[in-house]
Amino acid sequence: MGLDVVVMGSINMDMLVHVDDFPKYSENVVAKKLEVLAGGKGSNQAVTISKQDVKHAFLGAVGADDFGKQIIDMLNEKGVETKAIIRKTDAPTGTAVGIVDKVGENTFMGVLGANMALTAAEIEKAFENLEAKVFLLQLETSQESVIAALKCAKEKGMYIILDPAPEGCYFEESLSYTDLVTPNKQEAERITGIAIENVEDAKKAAKIIADTGVANVIVKLGGQGSVLFESAKDKCTFIEAKKVTAVNTVGAGDTFAGVLASELSRDRDNLVNAIQTATQASALKVARHGGHEAIPTRKEIMESM
């Protein structure tokens, strides 16, 4: 099956509690509303990719429970190709609870469940039927599943994009097979051990990461923009962020990743253009309320640029 993008990652049922301000320690507050959504970084990236007019498949795991069935139904409704999703009988579907404040900032607590129960053997079997130009993954599944997937994608000649998130799941070996790594500020600090306060710090961090053998590095600085370092050109490029009024930052990084992977499946050699398109998509996402329905389509992105 010849695809443009295979995305692998976490699948969770997200429960988002909306408040005016984050509660203080031990404080009880009345929330404005509760949203129950299909989430997880993998799901968010898969939905994004499904909206970019590319052929794709989503590889991940859910439990053999009601949440798992509901999530697969939700993803199918969004146009995600779910045939490669593994149903685990030995672990529950991942669940996350998030708090979102009045300016859209968020904090999450997650039980990863089936995501962490994925085995190398399951991934290797799934890859037998997967061929694609680009492979995108993050680190919210078990380490053995990540390494197995990276090895399989490398053997099949896929262009590998690693979103090294969340920072607490980072491990050094994950960089070894990667063509492009896309850490945010906190993740870049975790990888390099240096504090990142500005664009110049981000450039230093990108070069340090590249020195581990990664050909291309994007350090994302949120509202400031992104720094791209291309090893082959020994060149840093700063891509400015789009200025918008943020109402919900949940999924912004996943929207960026999904659009980036989709654009690179069309033209692998134009990283700057792909980043600019992904930056525009992320800006549209944070300016909208909602979860997967707020992720822009390719048509919406192109019309807004």
pLDDT tens digits for range 110-136 = 888 999 999 999 999 999 999 999 999
Write the pLDDT tens digit of every residue in 55-65. Answer: 999 999 999 99
The answer on whether 41 is annotated among ligand-binding residues is: yes
Q: What is the pLDDT of residue 103?
A: 84
- Choosing from 20, 254, 267, 269, which is the catalytic residue? 254
The answer on whether 268 is annotated among ligand-binding residues is: no
The answer on whether 43 is annotated among ligand-binding residues is: yes
C-alpha distance from residue 290 to each of 90, 285, 294 (Å): 32, 9, 5
The answer on whether 69 is annotated among ligand-binding residues is: no
The answer on whether 221 is annotated among ligand-binding residues is: yes
In the chain, domain spans: 3-20+33-304
Q: Side chain identity at 60, as an amino acid letter?
A: G
Q: What is the mean pLDDT of the chain?
A: 95
The answer on whether 44 is annotated among ligand-binding residues is: yes
The answer on whether 225 is annotated among ligand-binding residues is: yes
Write the pLDDT tens digit of every residue in 21-36. Answer: 999 999 999 999 998 8
Cα Rg for the chain, rounded, in angstroms? 18
Whether 254 sits among the annotated catalytic residues: the reply is yes
CATH superfamily of 3-20+33-304: Ribokinase (3.40.1190.20)
The answer on whether 42 is annotated among ligand-binding residues is: yes
- How is residue 184 annotated by DSSP? B
C-alpha dihedral sign at 33, 36, 40, 43: negative
What's the rounded mean pLDDT across residues 171-176? 95
C-alpha dihedral sign at 177, 180, 185, 189: positive
Apex 51 CA angle, 65 and 46, nearest 5: 40
Spatial separation of the C-alpha atoms in residues 220 and 187, rounded to whole Å: 9
Write the pLDDT tens digit of every residue in 92-104. Answer: 999 989 998 988 7
List the helix and strand counts (H, then E) for the chain: 9, 14
Spatial separation of the C-alpha atoms in residues 228 and 237, rounded to whole Å: 5
